[in-house]
C-alpha cells in the first residue's frame, strides 16, 4: 500500500508538471520562450520543435528573437509560427525572426484568466481521477483481505490529504499566473 501511495503522489506531481507546461503557453504581457513549445518546423522531413533547432532569446520584455541553427530554414520557421495561431506576427530579418508582442488589452487579459481557470479545472479533475483510481486499488485490497478495514480507511484518508495538498498547489500556481496576467 505504501507503494500505491507513492505512485499516487508521483502521478499527482506529473499533473502539476502538466499544469505548469500548460500555463507557460498562456501568454502574459512578457515574452516567454515557452510560448513556442508547441510549434514544430519541418526540419528535413521531420517535424521538430523550434526550441530544439534554434536559439530563442528574449532581448526585451516584449520581444522574442529566434535564430535558427540552419539559416536556410528561416522561411520555414516564419511559416510554422504563423500557422501555430499564437496571435503574433513574426518578422523575418534574414538570419533571424523577431516577434514583437503587443500589449495586452484588459479584455484580452480577462480572456486569458478564463483560460487559466479552464486549465486549472482540468488539472484538478486529473488529480481527482488519480485519487479515485488509488482509492479503488485500496478498496480492492480490502476486499481481498490484504489489508483491514481500518487500514483501508487510514490509507484513503492519506490519499485525500495528498489530493487536498495538490489541489492547493494548483490553486497557488494559477493564482500566481492570474496575478501575472492582470499586472500591467
Q: Give the pLDDT of residue 71.
A: 86
CATH number at residue 19: 1.10.132.20
Q: What is the pTM of this model?
A: 0.70
Q: How far is residue 29's CA from residue 182's CA, in Å, rounded to a whole number?
A: 9
Q: What is the pLDDT of residues 72-96, one digit of tens each?
A: 888 888 888 888 877 788 888 888 8
Q: What is the pLDDT of residues 93-124, one digit of tens each?
A: 888 899 888 777 888 888 888 989 999 999 99
Q: Which of 63, 78, 100 is the last residue of a domain?
A: 100
Q: How far is residue 87's CA from residue 104's CA, in Å, rounded to a whole number?
A: 11
Q: Give the pLDDT of residue 7.
A: 94
Is the domain of 134 the same as that of 45? no
- 178 - beta bridge partners? none
Closest CA to 13 of 169, 121, 173: 169
Q: Give the pLDDT of residue 184.
A: 60
CATH number at residue 37: 3.30.1360.40
Q: Which domain holds residue 56?
A: 33-100
* Cβ atoms 172, 20 nearer than 8 A: no
Q: Give the pLDDT of residue 117.
A: 93
Q: Give the pLDDT of residue 161.
A: 95
Counting as low any pLDDT under 50, the low residues of the chain are: none
Q: Give the pLDDT of residue 24.
A: 80
Q: Give the pLDDT of residue 134.
A: 93
Residue 84 is classified by DSSP as T
C-alpha cell at 3: 507503494
Amino acid at each position: 500500500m505504501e507503494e500505491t501511495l507513492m505512485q499516487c503522489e508521483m502521478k499527482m506531481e506529473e499533473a502539476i508538471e502538466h499544469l505548469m507546461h500548460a500555463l507557460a503557453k498562456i501568454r502574459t504581457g512578457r515574452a516567454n520562450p515557452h510560448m513556442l513549445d508547441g510549434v514544430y518546423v519541418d526540419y528535413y522531413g521531420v517535424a521538430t520543435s523550434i526550441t530544439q533547432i534554434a536559439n530563442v532569446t528574449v532581448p526585451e520584455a516584449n520581444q522574442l528573437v529566434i535564430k535558427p541553427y540552419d539559416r536556410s530554414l528561416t522561411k520555414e520557421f516564419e511559416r510554422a509560427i504563423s500557422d501555430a495561431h499564437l496571435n503574433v506576427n513574426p518578422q523575418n530579418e534574414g538570419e533571424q525572426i523577431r516577434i514583437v508582442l503587443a500589449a495586452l488589452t484588459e479584455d484580452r487579459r480577462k480572456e486569458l484568466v478564463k483560460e487559466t481557470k479552464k486549465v486549472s479545472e482540468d488539472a484538478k479533475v486529473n488529480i481527482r481521477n488519480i485519487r479515485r483510481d488509488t482509492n479503488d486499488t485500496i478498496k480492492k485490497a480490502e476486499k481481498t483481505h490484504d489489508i483491514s478495514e481500518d487500514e483501508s480507511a487510514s490509507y484513503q484518508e492519506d490519499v485525500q490529504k495528498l489530493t487536498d495538498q495538490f489541489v492547493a498547489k494548483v490553486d497557488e500556481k494559477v493564482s500566481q499566473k492570474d496575478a501575472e496576467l492582470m499586472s500591467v
